[in-house]
């Protein structure tokens, strides 16, 4: 019998005018009519059901799964069929290590309990204790597996130790146990989140949970309160060490290139000076050889030419010159006022 037959029957039941005509008089007749109306209402309420747009309906007949229904209005066999609505399009969330009392612009959180403390306290790979709080975002991709393959999988029930919460806690403890406390608290958060998401999805697929893990987000990761002051001092010392190292590298990067530049400049200057001296020496040698060759050809002429060229270079630099006869006697020197004026101006 399909849904259309049930709709026809429901319409037939609702159409009271089509019932056989009989007389119900007095109080008994009124009670009969009320009883018929109540039966019709009960039949309607136990037959009709509505599935929301983000859900599917899982239909069970005598407890056995017979199929799923899409969003919209549907009918079922009363007292025989049962429908469980599963949010397959909704993003679900599970919190670990803390509980949100009310979400909003300023969310409020419940006070820590033994349950949340037990979830958040974990042992890291270097045998330190860290308080890890995280959120798992997921959705249902297979409603049949979600309902029937694993017991107590509904993680939205906070008061029950569910299978999904146990799987999350086991995976997160394993991932945190493979990393040091500094990695979990600082640079390794992204790696921890990705590894936990991958391992949790593999575990969900292995157990046929029908869940798809969307994201794992680490919230607050801190050392325990008793060791937090010492841990903060260690972090400050590490940061101071990193600062000093960075400053030393900055000085190194500034000083070493300058020294290398100075050394390179000195080397290039020395090479230029050496090249200049060598070239000058070679030029002097070549000039001397040329003069010597000319001297061998004509010694007197070459000697006189060298003498005259030397005088040509020297005499302009000697200033005032007096040329006298060697046999001259009683020379009276004159005071050259023009030369004195020129020297005074200089």
For residue 61, give both structure tokens.
């007949």
User: Chain-centre distance of CA 87, in angstroms?
Assistant: 32
* 276 and 199 both lie in a single domain: no
Residue 189 lies in a domain: yes
Q: Is 80 exceeded by the pLDDT of residue 218? A: yes
Could you tell me if 109 and 183 lie in one domain? yes
> What is the residue whose two structure tokens read 């050259």?
336
- Rg of the Cα atoms in the chain: 53
> Which H helix or E strand runs over 201?
helix 189-206
Q: How would you write 234-297 as a 3-class SS string?
A: HHHHHHHHHHHHHHHHHHHHHHHHHHHHHHHHHHHHHHHHHHHHHHHHHHHHHHHHHHHHHHHH
pLDDT band of 11, cuts 50, 70, 90: very low
> Closest Cα to residue 120, out of 42, 52, 59, 176?
176
Contacts of 203 (CB under 8 A, 6+ apart): 167, 170, 171
Residue 326 lies in a domain: no
Question: Is residue 170 domain-shared with residue 261, that is, in the same domain?
Answer: no
Q: Please tell me the distance from the alpha carbon of residue 65 to that of residue 49, in angstroms, as a whole number.
A: 17
Q: Is 143 inside a domain boundary? A: yes
How many other CB atoms are found less than 10 A from the CB of residue 344?
A: 7
State whether 146 and 220 are in the same domain.
yes
Q: What percent of the chain has pLDDT over 70?
A: 82
Domain assignment present for residue 160? The answer is yes
Q: Cα dihedral sign for 173, 178, 182, 185?
A: negative
109-123, 157-171, 181-195: least confident range: 157-171
pLDDT score of 77 more than 50: yes
pLDDT at 10 over 60: no
Provide the terminal-to-terminal Cα distance of the chain, rounded to the nearest Å. 131
Same domain, 59 and 119: no
pLDDT score recorded for residue 23: 47
pLDDT attached to residue 220: 86
179 pLDDT tier (thresholds 50, 70, 90): very high
Q: Does 101 have pLDDT greater than 50?
A: yes
Number of structural domains (the chain) is 3
9 shares a domain with 47: yes
288-316 pLDDT, tens digit per residue, is 888 888 888 888 888 888 888 888 888 77
Domain match, 19 and 52 both: yes
At residue 211, the 3 state secondary structure works out as strand
pLDDT attached to residue 15: 46
- Residues 215, 244: one domain? no
Tell me the mean pLDDT in the region 203-212. Answer: 93
Domain span including residue 48: 3-86
Task: Summarize the confidence of residues 1-30 as an average pLDDT.
Answer: 48
Q: Both 179 and 125 in a single domain? A: yes
Question: Which pLDDT belongs to residue 65?
Answer: 92
User: Tell me, what's the pLDDT at 143?
Assistant: 92
Q: Is 227 helix (H, G, I), strand (E, B) or coil?
A: coil
Residue 343, domain member (yes or no): no
Domain boundary among 71, 86, 101: 86
Q: Tokens 């803390």 correspond to what residue?
A: 98
pLDDT at 317 (0 to 100) = 77
Where does a domain end: 61, 86, 111?
Answer: 86
Considering the domain architecture, whether residues 220 and 252 belong to the same structural domain is answered as no
66 and 147 housed in the same domain = no
What is the CATH number for 181?
3.30.479.30
Average pLDDT of the residues in 54-69: 92
For residue 339, the model assigns a pLDDT of 62
Last residue of a domain, one of 206, 225, 244: 225
Q: Which pairs count as long-range contacts for 62-70, CB under 8 Å and 24+ apart, including other chains?
A: 65/144, 65/147, 65/148, 68/143, 68/144
Ranges 91-105, 119-133, 170-184, 201-215: which has the least confidence: 91-105
Residue 251 resides in a domain: yes
Residue 21: the pLDDT is: 46
Q: What is the pLDDT of residue 32?
A: 78
Domain membership flag for residue 129:
yes
**pLDDT band per the 50, 70, 90 thresholds, residue 44:** confident
Q: Which helix (H) or strand (E) holds 49?
A: strand 48-51
Work out the burial of residue 185: count CB atoms within 10 Å of its CB; fewer than 13 is exposed, 13-18 middle, 19 or more buried.
buried
If you average pLDDT over every residue of the chain, what do you get? 82
Give a yes or no: residue 339 inside a domain: no
Same domain, 31 and 151: no
């Amino acid at each position: 019998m399909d849904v259309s037959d049930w709709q026809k029957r429901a319409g037939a039941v609702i159409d009271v005018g089509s019932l056989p005509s009989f007389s119900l008089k007095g109080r008994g007749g009124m009670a009969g009519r009320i009883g018929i109306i109540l039966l019709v209402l009960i039949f309607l309420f136990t037959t009709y059901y509505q599935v929301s747009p983000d859900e599917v309906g899982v239909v069970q007949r005598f407890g056995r799964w017979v199929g799923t229904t899409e969003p919209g209005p549907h009918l079922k066999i009363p007292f025989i069929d049962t429908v469980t609505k599963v949010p397959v399009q909704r993003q679900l969330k599970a919190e670990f290590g803390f509980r949100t009392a009310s979400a909003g612009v300023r969310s409020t959180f419940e006070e820590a309990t033994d349950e949340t403390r037990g979830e958040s306290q974990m042992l890291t790979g270097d045998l330190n204790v860290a308080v890890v709080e995280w959120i798992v975002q997921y959705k249902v991709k297979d409603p049949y597996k979600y309902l029937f393959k694993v017991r107590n999988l509904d993680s939205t029930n906070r008061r029950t130790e569910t299978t999904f919460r146990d799987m999350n806690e086991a995976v997160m403890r394993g991932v945190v146990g493979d990393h040091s406390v500094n990695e979990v608290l600082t640079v390794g958060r992204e790696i921890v989140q990705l590894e936990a998401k991958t391992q949790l999805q593999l575990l969900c697929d292995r157990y046929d949970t029908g869940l798809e893990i969307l994201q794992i987000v680490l919230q607050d990761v801190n050392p325990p309160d008793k060791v937090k002051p010492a841990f903060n001092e260690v972090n400050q010392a590490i940061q101071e060490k990193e600062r000093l190292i960075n400053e030393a590298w900055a000085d190194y990067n500034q000083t070493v290139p300058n020294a290398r530049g100075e050394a390179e400049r000195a080397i290039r200057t020395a090479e230029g000076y050496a090249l200049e001296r060598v070239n000058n020496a070679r030029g002097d040698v070549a000039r001397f050889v040329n003069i010597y060759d000319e001297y061998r050809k004509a010694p007197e002429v070459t000697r006189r030419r060298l003498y005259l060229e030397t005088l040509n270079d020297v005499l302009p630099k000697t200033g005032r010159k007096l040329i006298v006869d060697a046999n001259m006697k009683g020379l009276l020197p004159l005071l050259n006022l023009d030369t004195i004026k020129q020297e005074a101006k200089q």
